[in-house]
Amino acid sequence: MDELPPQLTAQEEGSHPYLVMKDQKPPIITKAIDALHRHKDEFFKKYGEEGTEAEKKAISLLSKLRNELQTDKPLLPLHDDWVDTDIWNQYLEDQHNLLNENDKKISWFQSSWLYVECYLYRRIHEALVLSSPISDFDVFKDSKDQNFLESRGAIEALCFYLQESKRTIEVVDENIQKDEFCKLLQIMLWGNKCDLAVVPGQSIPQTSSPLTILEGLKPFILVNNMDALWSLLLNKRKKSQENFSVIRVDFILDNAGFELVTDLVMADFLIASNLATEIHFHGKCIPWFVSDTNIKDVNWLITQLKAAESTYLSTCGLIWEDYLKKKTWVYHDHMFWTLPFEYCAMPHVAPDLYADLQKSNLILFKGDLNYRKLLGDRKWGLTIPFHEALNGFHPAPLCSIRTVKTQVQAGLAPGQGEQVADSNPEWMTSGNYGILQFDGGP
């Protein structure tokens, strides 16, 4: 491949990355500080004075972090002893060596936007790691839980729809199954709007039944490769019925709360319809980008569903818990997902993870951050083929399911971007457009 396009930075005043770093990120740190304040009695009750001192230390470290960001200070090495600390510090050193040739500093607004955003959340984690005994406290948990609770009506409607679909799944023909599959894909797509890192301080609940809005949103899907996904899984199912082979689908998760429910509903449908025989979920091992899913979020969600008075919710909770116990569903949390690397680096940085993904028949990448890492957060031309923009990352057939929130996009038809921009100049950052973008692999 020729020289790669440059990565986005927050350097240009008034640009989208600049405004995100200037206006969105400091309030996120403030919310983390507020969360620690709100739980100070809990820390004292659990750990006594040691808990109180830990809360003060974490707040002090986060306040310092906020000041560094707001004044565009140079990025600092990590000082904790987490499993990935050396990798992060080596990455920073490599960036120094790379940019010092051009006499540039590694700072919040001068460096790769993807890197500094990831670095921010890693520093938030560091503040907790260095504040024992409250090191495992998730400063974003209250926000994630609130999103789930405020979206309860939509979640119940979705669980009801799933149960009704599963009752008839054995007797309906392929066309009806495909229709159900495509509806759930679209629900997964628009569920990605519920991103708490985009609007800090505000929960973005899904209040109405998501099924009622799908038809009106179809024109906003800029790349719609649902037919390719259906054909792939249908062919795998036919082969599996002939030779009893495994059909593995991997979900690279994004947000907890309502979006996570949409993912689990689809995973349940895939198992029930024999379009998959095993599902592998990949989440974060630490709190990340405010609302990203970790194993505690999955367990909390299932506990909430099981305890619900609604039969549809409790049934889903019990079935999903059973899937996890029986390893029909498997949850993974490799540290690579919270490193700053673009995904084309995975074969070298995390060869074990890449080798595992190569066992998949289909990988579904959820959300904007995953798309940015798939494309290296680079300024690709809008019509550059998606396959090319993946820059050699082809572990298996994959699909990005994403509402468009940042100025990274490839694989559009000629003139399509300009046409959308005529009606909505802010289309790349509005979250109002979506993609279901498939790549068939090597």
The confidence score (pLDDT) of residue 206 equals: 60
Each residue of 377-420: pLDDT tens digit? 999 999 999 999 999 999 999 999 999 999 999 999 999 999 99
Average pLDDT over residues 150-164: 93
Locus of tokens 């054995």: 170
| Cα gap 144→393, rounded to integer Å | 31
Q: Is the dihedral of CA 137, 124, 17, 339 positive or negative?
A: negative
Q: Does the pLDDT of residue 422 top 80, yes or no? A: yes
Cis status of the peptide bond prior to 397, with omega within 30 of 0 = no
Q: Does the pLDDT of residue 248 top 50, yes or no? A: yes
User: Which sequence spans correspond to the domains of the chain?
Assistant: 16-129, 141-439
pLDDT band at 196 (very low <50, low <70, confident <90, very high): low
Closest alpha carbon to 395 in 365, 372, 368: 365
Q: Does the pLDDT of residue 111 top 70, yes or no? A: yes
Locus of tokens 């969600």: 301
Each residue of 272-316: pLDDT tens digit? 999 999 999 999 999 999 999 999 999 999 999 999 999 999 999
- Cβ atoms of 312 and 346 within 8 Å: the answer is no
Who's near 125: CB < 8 A, 6+ residues apart? Answer: 80, 82, 286, 287
Burial letters 193-212, b for 16+ CB under 10 A, else e: bbbbbbebeebbbbeebbbe
Strands (E), 25-170: none
Locus of tokens 């457009």: 433
Average pLDDT over residues 15-24: 97
The confidence score (pLDDT) of residue 169 equals: 81
The domain made up of 16-129 is a member of CATH 2.60.40.10: no
Query: Looking at domain 141-439, which CATH architecture does it have?
Result: 3-Layer(aba) Sandwich (3.40)
pTM equals 0.96
Structure tokens at 206: 């899904």
Lowest model confidence (mean pLDDT) among 46-55, 204-213, 338-347? 204-213
250-255-258 Cα angle (round to 5)? 100
Who's near 267: CB < 8 A, 6+ residues apart? Answer: 249, 251, 276, 279, 281, 323, 329
Q: Does the pLDDT of residue 102 top 90, yes or no? A: no
Mean pLDDT (the chain, rounded)? 94
Long-range residue pairs from 313-316, CB within 8 A, at least 24 positions apart, any chain: 313/155, 313/156, 313/159, 315/159, 315/163, 316/159, 316/162, 316/163, 316/264, 316/265, 316/268
Lowest model confidence (mean pLDDT) among 195-209, 227-241, 357-371? 195-209
